[in-house]
Amino acid sequence: YIYIYIYRFRICIRHQRWLTKSKKPRQRYVQKDGKCNVHHGNVQETYRYLSDLFTTLVDLRWSLSLFIFTLVYVVNWLFFGFLWWLIALIRGDLVHADEDGWTPCVENLNSFVSAFLFSIETETTIGYGYRVITEKCPEGIILLLVQAILGSIVNAMMVGCMFVKISQPKNRAETLMFSHNAVISVRDNKMCLMFRVGDLRNSHIVEASIRAKLIRSQQTKEGEFIPLNQTDINIGFDTGDDRLFLVSPLIISHEINEKSPFWEMSLAQMEKEEFEIVVILEGMVEATGMTCQARSSYLDTEVLWGYRFTPVLSLEKGFYEVDYNNFHDVYETNTPTCSAKELSAKLREGPLLPQLSLLSPEVLNEQ
């Protein structure tokens, strides 16, 4: 029985590898780097973006953000420079500026260029001292107050947008790693779906939590077709195992039980299925306190049946060392090819299967 089981297991593993290569590439819902592969088209109510202008500016590309940042300031300076020039023109300062006894609104303002420079000096509070407003110009004093107030609002909004954009923790997710593949094997006589996560930085993610979603199309009993239906995958929500202390790489395990969407899925059935598992890791950056989210996904061809992850943690003299060269490595293990439901039924019938599934390859070779 043992040799027959080993032979069938190896045949199934080779068949799985062949199907993985022969399956046509499918479109991902979430890319491996976490970017969602969804584009919004035919959005007619574009005014909604303007109702949340701050978030719209933060979400823009860097090149467009810098262009708008520069454009807003230049337009603001030109607008108030035009108003200062207009006041000088109406008062006659441009014509009588050189006459003795004439008190202009702004001293040494004799052209539009000088009005533009005075607008920049006023809003940025440079204060070179060459151009200065006089006390006999009430309209100029009012314009000075208006420019100071509006300039402060523009500074607060634009500098705030740039600060939020710079401090966004998106790049923090670049040092959060997910294994290239997910694996299915037996743990404590229970079929489990597993993947590995790790953090490359010494500054840790605070209050880290992880969740997973199964993405696949579904047809209801009434005949309704639901594309890309999302189903929760329990990875310890009820036991608290979804709360992570991510100091070293961890293997996240989903027990395939009666509530699991993989409960009745065997190796042969999984080869025919088309699905995607989306994993989401969230937490706060220890240095800034801002929330960070890292995402990745596994297609059905990236879920390996009958494998386990290679250990990466070793005990050195006075510390633990993580070898990230083996982070994505897996090795074959003896795993039943039946579904978790069938495995549970066979475990209740007799002790042969659990003993067989727990044997290591070295023990099997000796037998």
Q: Are residues 196 and 219 in the same domain?
A: yes
317 falls in which pLDDT band (50, 70, 90)? confident
Question: What CATH number is attached to the domain comprising 239?
Answer: 2.60.40.1400
Structural domain ending residue among the three candidates 127, 143, 167: 167
Burial category of 104 from C-beta neighbours within 10 Å (exposed 0-12, middle 13-18, buried 19 and up): buried
Q: Is the per-residue pLDDT at 37 higher than 90? A: no
Give 149 or 92, the one with higher predicted confidence: 149
Q: Are residues 163 and 177 in the same domain?
A: no
CA-based end-to-end distance of the chain? 12
Per-residue pLDDT at 33:
84
Q: Are residues 136 and 67 in the same domain?
A: yes
Q: What pTM was computed for the model?
A: 0.72
Structural domain ending residue among the three candidates 167, 190, 207: 167
Q: Is the per-residue pLDDT at 170 higher than 80? A: no
Structural domain ending residue among the three candidates 167, 197, 223: 167
Q: Are residues 194 and 143 in the same domain?
A: no
Examine residue 361 and state whether it is found in any structural domain, yes or no. Answer: no
Question: What CATH number is attached to the domain comprising 89?
Answer: 1.10.287.70
Domain range holding 332? 29-37+172-348
Q: Are residues 267 and 301 in the same domain?
A: yes
Q: Are residues 145 and 186 in the same domain?
A: no
Q: Are residues 104 and 184 in the same domain?
A: no
Q: Are residues 211 and 179 in the same domain?
A: yes
Q: Which amino acid does the sequence have at 115?
A: A
Distance, CA of 188 to CA of 196 (rounded, Å) = 18
Specify the number of domains making up the chain: 2
Q: Are residues 112 and 128 in the same domain?
A: yes
Per-residue pLDDT at 218:
86
Distance, CA of 155 to CA of 26 (rounded, Å) = 47
What is the tens place of the pLDDT at every residue in 117-138? 999 998 888 877 788 888 888 9
Give 182 or 103, the one with higher predicted confidence: 182
